């Protein structure tokens, strides 16, 4: 079979090759225990990337996820001592509201998603700084263990982050592949004008997709706060670029209409393996962001189709 840059087998082949290369550097990396922990460590990035996948599938972009995740972490840390389990749905609801704000600005006010989500993300980031008084809010260890065990504990020998990611993946796959909503999503990304002509309610679809993305970003922030024992306005800094890179590396087109959440899983694992390799090589976090930026540019360059009359906007 002849492979091209758009083949779904290319990201999978790249993942296998990357795992083998890192395994040659450190053979212990290939042990099941290490690979499972690698997936668990990547759960927060995966949750955020799943939400971004839905947005990118319609040919839009969302630049607010790391701000939404930080807001959810701060709300969780502030409310958990007094509200207990109720702090979790409140934090997730904040993500849905933030997604609705982005969706409204984009779909109803007709502002490009890049500008809409950049503006909403900036507002949310400022709000988070104000709510947290520009500091990290520590979680009580006992309270964290009691109320957030579903996110950071272990079940049947596997980290709960793995179980949570698998549950989210299955639900997202069902929505994407077996519901009218999933078909409408692809239709909007492939040909928005055609989708409108066939009766697809574009505003409703777009609003719902951005609310899903907000929810997933908030869930990522809740899990991240549970893992790091704190909520912070900077807790998810450096997440946005790897999350977008993971979606594109997995094979979801920035033009919309093709790709999916299963490919995003492969993209996230690619990012995780790349990061592990760079850690082994002693590359610092700032330099890793440069690498992820270059990877994103390369992935986009290989995935788009160029013709003599093709115009890139």
Is 97 part of any domain? yes
Is 233 part of any domain? yes
Q: What is the pLDDT of residue 82?
A: 92
Grade residue 95 by pLDDT with cuts at 50, 70 and 90.
very high
Is 80 part of any domain? yes
Q: What is the pLDDT of residue 307?
A: 41
pLDDT of 150 strictly over 50: yes
Residue 148 CA to residue 240 CA, distance in Å, equals 24
Is 216 part of any domain? yes
Is 2 part of any domain? no
Classify 152 as helix, strand or coil.
helix
pLDDT of 306 strictly over 60: no
Grade residue 181 by pLDDT with cuts at 50, 70 and 90.
very high
> What is the count of structural domains for the chain?
1
Burial of 173 (0-12, 13-18, 19+ CB in 10 A): middle
Which residues have C-beta within 8 Å of that of residue 127, sequence separation ≥ 6? 71
Q: Which domain holds residue 258?
A: 9-303
CATH number assigned to the domain comprising residue 241: 1.10.3470
Residue 63 CA to residue 65 CA, distance in Å, equals 6
Mapping DSSP onto H, E and C, the string for 51-69 reads HHHHHHHCCCCCCCHHHHH
Residue pLDDT, tens place only, 245-304 = 899 989 898 888 888 999 999 999 999 998 888 887 777 777 777 887 887 787 777 666
Is 310 part of any domain? no
Q: What is the pLDDT of residue 138?
A: 95
Around Cβ 281, how many Cβ atoms within 10 Å?
A: 10
Predicted structure pTM score = 0.92
Is 210 part of any domain? yes
Is 312 part of any domain? no
């Amino acid at each position: 079979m002849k492979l091209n840059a758009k083949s779904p087998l290319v990201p999978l082949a790249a993942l296998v090759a990357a795992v083998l290369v890192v395994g040659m550097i450190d053979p212990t990396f290939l042990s099941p225990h290490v690979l499972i922990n690698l997936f668990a460590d990547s759960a927060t990035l995966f949750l955020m990337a799943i939400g971004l996948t839905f947005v990118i599938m319609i040919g839009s972009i969302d630049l607010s996820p790391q701000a939404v995740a930080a807001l959810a972490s701060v709300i969780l840390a502030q409310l958990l001592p007094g509200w207990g389990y109720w702090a979790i749905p409140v934090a997730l609801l904040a993500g849905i509201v933030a997604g609705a704000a982005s969706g409204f600005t984009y779909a109803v006010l007709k502002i490009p998603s890049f500008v809409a989500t950049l503006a909403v993300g900036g507002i949310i980031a400022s709000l988070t700084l104000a709510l947290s008084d520009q500091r990290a809010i520590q979680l009580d260890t006992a309270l964290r263990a009691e109320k957030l065990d579903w996110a950071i504990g272990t079940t049947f020998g596997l980290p709960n982050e793995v179980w949570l990611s698998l549950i989210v993946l299955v639900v997202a796959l069902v929505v994407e592949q077996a519901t009218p909503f999933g078909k409408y999503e692809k239709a909007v990304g492939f040909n928005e004008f055609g989708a409108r002509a066939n009766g697809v309610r574009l505003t409703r679809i777009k609003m719902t997709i951005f609310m899903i993305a907000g929810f997933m970003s908030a869930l990522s922030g809740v899990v991240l706060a549970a893992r790091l024992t704190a909520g912070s306005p900077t807790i998810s800094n450096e997440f946005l670029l790897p999350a977008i890179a993971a979606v594109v590396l997995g094979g979801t087109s920035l033009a919309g209409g093709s790709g999916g959440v299963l490919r995003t899983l492969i993209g996230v694992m690619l990012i995780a393996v790349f990061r592990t390799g760079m850690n082994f090589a002693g590359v610092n976090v700032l330099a890793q962001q440069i690498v992820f930026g270059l990877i994103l540019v390369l992935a986009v360059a290989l995935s788009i189709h160029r013709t003599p009359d093709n115009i890139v906007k």
